[in-house]
Chains A and B, each alone.
Chain A
Amino acid sequence: MREFFLPVVVAGMIAASPLAAQDISVVYLRQDVPPPPTLSNLDPIPGDLGQRGAELALQDNATTGKFMGQNWALEIVTVPEGGDYLAAMQDALAKTDLMLLDAPAEQLTAAADLAPNALLFNVANADNALRDDACRANLLHTLPSRAMKADALMQFFVKRRWTDIAMITGEAPGDVAFADALDRSATKFGLKIGKRKTWAFDADMRRNAAQEVPLFTQDLGDYDVLLVADEANDFARYIPYNTWHPRPVAGAEGLTAHAWDRVVEQWGAAQLQSRFHDLTGRDMQDVDYAAWAAIRTLGEAVTRTKSADTATLRSYILGPDFELAGFKGRPQTFRTWNGQLRQPMPLTSRAALVAQAPLDGFLHQRSELDTLGLDKPESACSAFD
């Protein structure tokens, strides 16, 4: 097991607030899962995805902390492929009950069941079930679910009146799950996904996309937009410009929905981007942002409640006074029925922000942000009741 310890040295420079010192330590517990093989190596997944977002937020918290008498520490624990995640969880619990978890769904729920009194954040798993019938009261989610991504895309299609939708789905479990979310979302917004195909090529598309893709997409007939469910972006990248009909592509390539993307610049986001760049030398991605948001959520809660007690923090975080300034233009809060962080979703192309969901005109009695993802009546989660 690899362990990195990142103590944050906090100088006692500010004597203005004579508060008792508070020590807050957080563990980032990650299960190493090998990424699926992809044809192209153009966009490698950073080995430190997520953890660098946590590190940046810890620095942010520590800066506030020095004025408040808080000492923040973050420990990154990586469980190697095939390693015992629950044993690592057990070890981590001996140190803290505040944790960020980065693991497949079964491990997340098992880890949550192991620690009923801990406050846990799922920062890397978009599985809808975790916000639905597989939810846990001690597990909050800062990464948007697949449902949120799908709803963001569908709102855009409704707005542009792209009502005739075709879809290509990969065979990986995540691709099938995302395709399901897209289907469900299309129904929710009164759209319908018509012709669809499963991607089952094993040829190297880097060489012959121009020959194969037009033929492959020919029998989809005509449509307004082509969705591609391919979470690893294994083949989706070869679809645009090679479709039989010249139509926009969305989902995994073309127009994509995110928690965060390098093209987000408004609402002070440029500052967060540049702080992240200075720290890591790379772009901030969705999981980095989710980890950042989780630790900043803890920072806000500790600062406002002046407590490090998990029950106090949890009830503040789920309560009406909590708000996270997350550089996406409006305050972010947690859904009280499943612990999901409400957040705007940037819809982006490779080079620019195209739109930000929720789009204008999608109204909701509580918050427009609840037009994205599992709304209260849609979620079967009862652990939060």
Chain B
Amino acid sequence: MKLTTALATLLLMTPAYADEIWVTNEKDDTISVIDVDTLEVIKTYPTGERPRGITFSHDFSRVYICASDSDAVQVMDPATGEILHDLPSGEDPEQFVLHPDDRHLYIANEDDAITTVVDTQTRTVVAQIDVGIEPEGMAVSPDGKIAITTSETTNMAHWIDTETQQIFANSLVDSRPRHAEFVKDGTELWVSSEIGGTLSVFDRDTQAEKAKIEFKLPNIHPDRIQPVGFELSAGDEFAFVALGPANHVAVVNAATYEVEDYILVGRRVWHMAFNADKTQLFTTNGVSGDVTVIDVASRKAIKSIKVGRFPWGAALRPTN
């Protein structure tokens, strides 16, 4: 009973804040905060130079931002927008992933062909791993045992053992891999290839390629269909795949690897984030400088929200 009262008091005190989607604006050095209920930008916070990757700590008390041209990962207090401190990150951090231990960040250093592992508590570099040219896509398996770096010019997914911080396998993928995710409880690794125009599916245990997903849109030349970021819907049932300059998001059935739908969004769609119950999807559209809101059930774009210049990364911040 006491707990209920406390909760009720809390609810009374905090005027029902809605969840937020945080978007990094690469060419404005800012973050736009979108209110998920009103679908409007409610705040804009300054960041370091060229913010790209963005992710929250597990309790959402910290937000980590790759400020690529400041050569730092910035740690911000999401309640105030205040930069608390920088983490050592190696040069030109582009994208990163937070290990399930909520403590270690695996960072792709795009200019240096290195993956840097940083301990967010001691704020020190734990390891640096030589990878291919222009590392970008980063993923960690849900059990935390494997980290992945994909390198854009080397065209590989590097499999890193997180215990030894050593590469134990390399898988060739099509040209310019951009994004990687572990899917289906970590049994599969998915990698998008921007110039190759494909999404490769690997078996986690054997690192063997299991499937390759291709995309086709009427009236758009295959060269312009360039898969970049992607996210999985509830239960990993469907993958929503940003197709870059094709200005569409593809809906892929994750069980059959068939493409079921294409949704028209803004120009050069890049990355995306779901709301808390995954009924809405927010895509960053680099060239048009806006965010498209997709209704997941109907697979329709319902709104465009103007943000800063060249929106890149997106992350959900639940507030209750």
Residues of A281-340 at the interface with B, using a CB-CB cut-off of 8 Å, are: 296, 300, 303-304, 323-325, 329-331
Q: How far is the CA of A64 from the CA of B194 in the complex (A)?
A: 18
The answer, yes or no, to whether B33 is at the interface (CB within 8 Å) is no
Contact across chains for A268 and B170 when beta carbons are under 8 A apart: no
Contact across chains for A325 and B176 when beta carbons are under 8 A apart: yes
Task: Give the residue of A66, A278, A330, A369 whose beta carbon is less than 8 angstroms from that of B195.
Answer: A330
How would residues 190 to 211 of chain B score, 1 for a CB under 8 Å from any chain A CB and 0 otherwise? 0000111100000000000000
Question: A329 → chain B, closest Cβ, in Å?
Answer: 7
Question: A144 → chain B, closest Cβ, in Å?
Answer: 17
Please tell me which stretch of A13-21, A77-85, A120-128, A377-385 contacts chain B, meaning at least 4 of its Cβ atoms lie within 8 angstroms of it.
A13-21
**CB within 8 Å for A303 and B132 given contacts A323-B195, A330-B223:** no
Query: What are the 9 closest A-B residue pairs judged by CB atoms, nearest first?
Result: A330-B223, A325-B195, A325-B175, A64-B154, A325-B176, A67-B170, A331-B195, A63-B133, A60-B133
The answer, yes or no, to whether B110 is at the interface (CB within 8 Å) is yes
Instruction: List the A side residues contacting B172 at CB < 8 Å.
Output: 303-304
The answer, yes or no, to whether B2 is at the interface (CB within 8 Å) is no
Question: A71 → chain B, closest Cβ, in Å?
Answer: 16
Task: Give the residue of A16, A278, A325, A330 whose beta carbon is less than 8 angstroms from that of B153.
Answer: A325
Q: How far is the CA of A304 from the CA of B156 in the complex (A)?
A: 12
Question: A66 → chain B, closest Cβ, in Å?
Answer: 8
The answer, yes or no, to whether B86 is at the interface (CB within 8 Å) is no
Known: A60-B154, A63-B113, A325-B195. 20 other contacts (CB 8 A): A14-B170, A16-B167, A16-B168, A17-B169, A17-B170, A60-B133, A63-B133, A64-B133, A64-B154, A64-B156, A67-B156, A268-B152, A271-B110, A271-B134, A274-B111, A323-B174, A323-B175, A325-B155, A368-B223, A369-B223
Contact across chains for A13 and B153 when beta carbons are under 8 A apart: no
Residues of A117-144 at the interface with B, using a CB-CB cut-off of 8 Å, are: none
**CB within 8 Å for A268 and B176 given contacts A330-B223, A367-B221:** yes
User: In terms of DSSP, what is the predominant structure of the interface of chain A?
Assistant: helix
The answer, yes or no, to whether A206 is at the interface (CB within 8 Å) is no
Question: B226 → chain A, closest Cβ, in Å?
Answer: 8
Contact across chains for B169 and A16 when beta carbons are under 8 A apart: yes
Q: How far is the CA of A274 from the CA of B194 in the complex (A)?
A: 21
**CB within 8 Å for A60 and B153 given contacts A271-B110, A323-B196:** yes
Chain A residue with the shortest CB-CB distance to B221: A368
The answer, yes or no, to whether A247 is at the interface (CB within 8 Å) is no
Q: How far is the CA of A367 from the CA of B110 in the complex (A)?
A: 31
The answer, yes or no, to whether B224 is at the interface (CB within 8 Å) is yes
Contact across chains for A16 and B170 when beta carbons are under 8 A apart: yes
**Chain B, interface residues (CB within 8 Å), range:** 20 to 34
Contact across chains for B154 and A325 when beta carbons are under 8 A apart: no
How would residues 48 to 77 of chain B score, 1 for a CB under 8 Å from any chain A CB and 0 otherwise? 000000000000000000000000000000
Chain B residue with the shortest CB-CB distance to A344: B223
Q: How far is the CA of A29 from the CA of B196 in the complex (A)?
A: 32
Q: How far is the CA of A275 from the CA of B113 in the complex (A)?
A: 11
Instruction: List the B side residues contacting A66 at CB < 8 Å.
Output: 130
Q: How far is the CA of A64 from the CA of B152 in the complex (A)?
A: 11
Residues of B within 8 A of A (CB): 110-111, 113, 130, 132-134, 152-156, 158, 167-170, 172, 174-176, 194-197, 221, 223-224, 245
Contact across chains for B224 and A330 when beta carbons are under 8 A apart: yes
Q: How far is the CA of A13 from the CA of B174 in the complex (A)?
A: 24
Cross-chain pair count, CB within 8 angstroms: 73
Contact across chains for B170 and A329 when beta carbons are under 8 A apart: no
How would residues 35 to 76 of chain A score, 1 for a CB under 8 Å from any chain B CB and 0 otherwise? 000000000000000000000000010011011100000000
Can you report 15 A-B residue pairs in the complex whose CB atoms are below 8 A from each other? Answer: A16-B170, A17-B169, A64-B133, A66-B130, A67-B132, A67-B170, A296-B153, A323-B174, A323-B195, A325-B155, A325-B176, A330-B195, A330-B223, A331-B195, A331-B197
Chain B residue with the shortest CB-CB distance to A16: B169
Contact across chains for A268 and B134 when beta carbons are under 8 A apart: yes
Instruction: List the B side residues contacting A275 at CB < 8 Å.
Output: 111
Q: How far is the CA of A140 from the CA of B310 in the complex (A)?
A: 37
Contact across chains for B111 and A271 when beta carbons are under 8 A apart: yes
Question: B288 → chain A, closest Cβ, in Å?
Answer: 14
Instruction: List the B side residues contacting A367 at CB < 8 Å.
Output: 221, 223
Instruction: List the A side residues contacting B195 at CB < 8 Å.
Output: 323, 325, 330-331
Question: A170 → chain B, closest Cβ, in Å?
Answer: 36
**CB within 8 Å for A13 and B130 given contacts A64-B155, A268-B176:** yes
Instruction: List the B side residues contacting A64 at CB < 8 Å.
Output: 132-133, 153-156
Question: B289 → chain A, closest Cβ, in Å?
Answer: 14
Instruction: List the B side residues contacting A271 at CB < 8 Å.
Output: 110-111, 134, 152
Instruction: List the B side residues contacting A296 at CB < 8 Å.
Output: 153
Q: How far is the CA of A271 from the CA of B155 in the complex (A)?
A: 15
Chain B residue with the shortest CB-CB distance to A333: B223
Contact across chains for A14 and B175 when beta carbons are under 8 A apart: no
Task: Give the residue of B132, B168, B174 whose beta carbon is less than 8 angstroms from that of A63.
Answer: B132
Q: How far is the CA of A88 from the CA of B224 in the complex (A)?
A: 43
Q: How far is the CA of A13 from the CA of B110 in the complex (A)?
A: 21
Chain A residue with the shortest CB-CB distance to B197: A331
Question: B156 → chain A, closest Cβ, in Å?
Answer: 6
Question: A126 → chain B, closest Cβ, in Å?
Answer: 24
Question: Which of B132, B175, B196 has most chain A Cβ within 10 Å?
Answer: B175
Question: A118 → chain B, closest Cβ, in Å?
Answer: 26
Q: How far is the CA of A300 from the CA of B175 in the complex (A)?
A: 9
Instruction: List the B side residues contacting A17 at CB < 8 Å.
Output: 169-170
Q: How far is the CA of A363 from the CA of B158 in the complex (A)?
A: 39
Residues of A3-29 at the interface with B, using a CB-CB cut-off of 8 Å, are: 13-14, 16-17
Instruction: List the A side residues contacting B168 at CB < 8 Å.
Output: 16
Q: How far is the CA of A170 from the CA of B98 in the complex (A)?
A: 60
Instruction: List the B side residues contacting A368 at CB < 8 Å.
Output: 221, 223
Q: How far is the CA of A91 from the CA of B195 in the complex (A)?
A: 38
Chain A residue with the shortest CB-CB distance to B68: A270
Chain A residue with the shortest CB-CB distance to B94: A271
Instruction: List the A side residues contacting B174 at CB < 8 Å.
Output: 323
Q: How far is the CA of A303 from the CA of B154 in the complex (A)?
A: 9
Question: A108 → chain B, closest Cβ, in Å?
Answer: 28
